[in-house]
Amino acid sequence: MLRPSLLARTRAAFAVALVAVSLGLPAIAQQTGTLSGTLKDAIGASIPNATVVLRNEATKVVRNVRGDAEGHFNASGLPAGTYTVEASAPGFALTTRQGVQLTASNTQDLTLTLKVGGANEQITVDAANANSIAAAYAVMDGVLDARSARTEVNSTYIQNYVAPTADYTEVLQNAPGTYSLNANGVGMGDAKMFFRGFSDGNYDITFDGIPWNDTNSPSHHSWAFFPSQFLGGVDFDRSPGSASTVGPTPFGGSINLLSKEMPDVQNIRGGISYGSFNTKLIDVNYDSGNFGGASKRNNVFIDVHHMDSDGYQTFNYQTRNAGALKYQFKFSENKILTGFASVLWLDSNTPNIKGPTRAQVAQYGDNYLLQNTDSTQANYYKYNFYHVPTDFEYVGYKQQLGHGWSLDTKPYTYSYNNKQNYAATPKKGTVSEPNCSTAVSGALPCGTDKLNSYRKYGEITSLSQVSRFGIFRVGMWYEWAATDRFQIPQDPITQVDSALPNFHEQFWTNSYQPYAEYEYHATSKLTLTGGLKFAHYTMDLKQYADNGSTVGSLNGAPYVRNNASYNSVLPSVDANYRIRPNWSVYGQFATGSVIPPSNVFDINQTSTGSSQAAVLKTLPDPSYAKSYQTGSVLKLHRVTLNADVYYVRFGNAYSAPSDPNFVNYTSQGDSVTKGFEGETNVYFGKGLSLFANGTAGTAKYVSQTVGGASNPNYDLWVASTPSNTESLGMTFQDKYLNLGIFNKRIGPMWNDGKYATPSASSGLTLNPVLGTNANQAVPIDPFNVTNMYVNFTMRRGSIFDQTKIRFSVNNLFDQHNITSVNPSGSVSLNRVGYAFAPASGDTVGLLPGRSFMVSFTIGLSPRQ
């Protein structure tokens, strides 16, 4: 039995506690509020079943809600604070409202208008669509609204899981089926990307929806445009896309590079990086946040950086200076003006032959390429250099016009000026005088002065109309380009050019692609899209008299003119069906084309004696592709799964040998690429996630005849097509730390070679169209690369926001595999008993050795 004094004290304590709790409950309840709202399209109609993400800007805590059938959403019990609200729905671009203030015990009601989005704008936070924490932590993943095989790479991956010197090929290195090669180190050269049997030039790359590429062939240069400092994300579409997907070569796919998002708060960052191969990077960034009076309609992003490196390969020096500016002005939520401008200056000592021979590797080591001690050799580094300035600008304007119509127009211009000098060993003697100053057959034998320069102007305009049935899109891409190209024999010692070039051409191209498509919302779960695109190209060439290497002397005429015109009609149809809100399936049929390269006109056009000048009487047909694919996207709470199968018939394909000294495109007939791709993300908890993908497929030539003659390459592999690939990664993400380790394995594949000219007694003859090009000539064994990243970042809430320490290791296990071979020998035409035999003169590509880089960034966010 309790004593009276103890009982009194117990009762008093209980009474005090009861009063405290009773007083505290209202206080606790008053610390939460409610966010609700309505989601509408451009004509004011409600958008049912949309997804809404509510993100507390201070704590980063996310609440996911789904709109109802009337377009309403409601989220109660939210802690008071400032929120970012993101809304998305199939066919619409992600709509974001930042800085939404929620006070205790109040309800904040919003109206969000979702705008029609193009494929490259529909990068949404798909984690919300299924309340999937695995998708929220995924650094790359598929999307539920996909109408084809797509992988999206987010800004978290770009900022934390690639080296600071990376280019866009490195950003996509871990996507399904992709691989890129750069023997000089990460971001230290002109890397090329391969996937699904398509090499560079057989797929589109866009920046903020604008396709960009060379003019003589639609290839790309990773070292000259859009380093990772300019990128905010990538939408990787492994299909020709729909009719509204414009560009010269989307049939292989579209790598849609996206500029950085413009944050609502001011931040200044200055950083320095140092790493292996004496690599230095200085980078300064400025985000203005929203500014300009009470309405704060302006926003600016600026990046300026300098990078220089000795490179992994000997004397393959690299220097890059670049800057970018993005500006946005909001007249209103329905009228937005955006401008972007970038410049880049690249200088390097990269030679024309991109790798050493086996003999050089055996004698000097894996990193051998150039030398500085013997000026009589062609690989003396002072004879080999590039100077490549580029620029890229656009102005974008979007407006809601009323009655469901919206306008999106984007005029642009960009230029590329590749000035290259390189040396070659003369057939007789060394690189010395008088060998190099004495013409042989009218040309200096020791070097080449090369220019590839162009300026483009273009515009992309689309009109969209939203109705209760779906979305109608109509638009057009137009582009005009002026090109100047030459290669002139040169004495590399004195840099004096020959009087006549190997070739010199100027040409002007026009590209037109009008299109129309309709996205029919058959039910709340089924979306059907069909469209038609017309592709028309013209090319007008002026080819100047040369030393006989290309068009010839032209009998004293200064130049000859040629022209070409190409047309293609390109239909597409696709469907997306939501089995459940977190599970979709899709199917697509799409077509694409690409015109032949400009060098189809590189024939001798000089008459001799009674012989008439050669004329290209029949233009070759454009290459075309028909693509069929189907797949599924599933987002569970802790697991995401994406898978697809594909079949692509690529008709009238052109290819070029791997040696850049002989880039002569040759018609190869038709090829078929088919296979399977799958990717997954698994969230274990406490910020730890697993990322994995894998592919298996084939790409082979299927034409039994080419040009009416037997095809010796029938049923042989397309070059640089791995039969399988795998990526595996682990990431840890919390408020301050981002840790990651990734491994990419590239399975076995083949490189091309050359057929030996058969003897007259053999009874064999080369195919007159294919010439000596031999497919499936050199086996390349599997190889893999492992990279590791450690990042510590101060997040929002501190005046030192975005202050960061960053450490990366590329090729962690220091692999030195051969990744490509340009054989010095030849292949017998009948291939009887053929087996590739390595030779000392083979030119090889190798993985760059292990490299480290550490970065220190100071970030400042002045108080608003």
| Mean pLDDT to the nearest integer, 124-143 | 76
Segment among 4-13, 305-314, 688-697 with least mean pLDDT: 4-13
**Residue 8 predicted with pLDDT over 60:** no
How would residue 116 be classed by pLDDT, with cut points 50, 70 and 90?
A: low
Question: How is the beta sheet containing 72-79 ordered, strand by strand?
Answer: 72-79, 32-40, 107-113
More confident residue, 128 or 497: 497
Per-residue confidence at 758, pLDDT binned at 50, 70, 90?
A: confident
Cβ atoms 543, 551 nearer than 8 A: yes
The per-residue pLDDT for range 476-522, each reduced to its tens digit, is: 999 999 999 999 999 999 999 999 999 999 999 999 999 999 999 99
Quickly state the pLDDT bin for 98 (edges 50, 70, 90). Answer: confident
Sequence-ordered list of residues with C-beta below 8 angstroms from that of 230, at least 6 positions apart, any chain = 259, 260, 303, 322, 324, 342
**Amino acid 763: pLDDT:** 80
Contact 208, 259 (CB under 8 A): yes
Rounded to whole angstroms, the Cα distance separating 403 from 2 reads 80
Long-range contact list for 499-502, CB < 8 A, 24+ apart? 500/442, 500/443, 500/545, 500/546, 500/547, 501/544, 501/546, 501/547, 502/443, 502/448, 502/546, 502/547, 502/549, 502/550
Residue 35 resides in a domain: no
Distance between CA atoms of residues 123 and 582, nearest Å: 16
Residue 177 lies in a domain: no
Paired tokens of 697: 């497929």
Cα dist. 627→198, 296, 439, 695 in Å? 13, 47, 51, 17
pLDDT band at 57 (very low <50, low <70, confident <90, very high): confident
Does residue 665 fall inside a structural domain? yes
Which residue in the block uniquely carries the two structure tokens 């090499």? Answer: 199
Residue 419 falls within a domain, yes or no? yes
For residue 661, the model assigns a pLDDT of: 35
Residue 594 structure tokens: 């690409």
Nearest-5° Cα angle at 416, 414 to 418: 175
The one-letter code for the residue type at 127 is A
Cα 695 to Cα 12, 147, 482: the distances in Å are: 72, 19, 40
Is residue 107 in a domain? Answer: no
Q: Pick from 421, 500, 515: which is nearest to 460 by CA?
A: 515
CATH number of the domain residue 399 falls in: 2.40.170.20
Q: What's residue 610's pLDDT?
A: 64
Size of the chain, expressed as the number of residues it contains: 864
For residues 228 and 165, what is the distance between their CA atoms, to the nearest angstrom? 7
| Token pair belonging to 575 | 């469907």
Instruction: Decide if 527 contacts 90 (C-beta within 8 A).
Output: yes
pLDDT over 90 at 271, yes or no: yes
Rounded mean pLDDT, 230-252:
93
pLDDT of 835 above 70: yes
Q: Is residue 84 in a domain? A: no
The CA-atom distances, in angstroms, between 726 and each of 610, 680, 818 are 61, 12, 18
Position with higher pLDDT, 402 vs 779: 779
DSSP at 770: T
Q: Is the pLDDT of residue 657 over 80?
A: no
CA angle 341, 345, 350 (to 5 degrees): 140
Within a domain: residue 583? Answer: yes
Q: Residue 863: what pLDDT?
A: 65
Gyration radius of the chain over CA positions: 30
Mean pLDDT of 232-251: 93
Mean pLDDT of the chain: 89
The tokens for 807 are: 């450490």
Residue 615 lies in a domain: no
Which domain does 707 fall in, by range? 258-426+436-600+620-857
- Contact between 635 and 612 (Cβ < 8 Å): no
| Amino acid 829: pLDDT | 86
Domain count, the chain: 1
pTM across the whole model: 0.87
| Per-residue pLDDT at 848 | 97
pLDDT bin (cut points 50, 70, 90) of residue 849 is very high
Q: How confident is the model at residue 86 (pLDDT cuts 50, 70, 90)?
A: confident
Q: What is the pLDDT of residues 284-320, one digit of tens each?
A: 999 999 999 888 999 999 999 999 999 999 999 999 9
- Reading the block at residue 234, the tokens are 């990538």
Say what the pLDDT of residue 264 is: 87
pLDDT tens string 326-369: 999 999 988 999 999 999 999 999 999 889 999 999 999 999 99
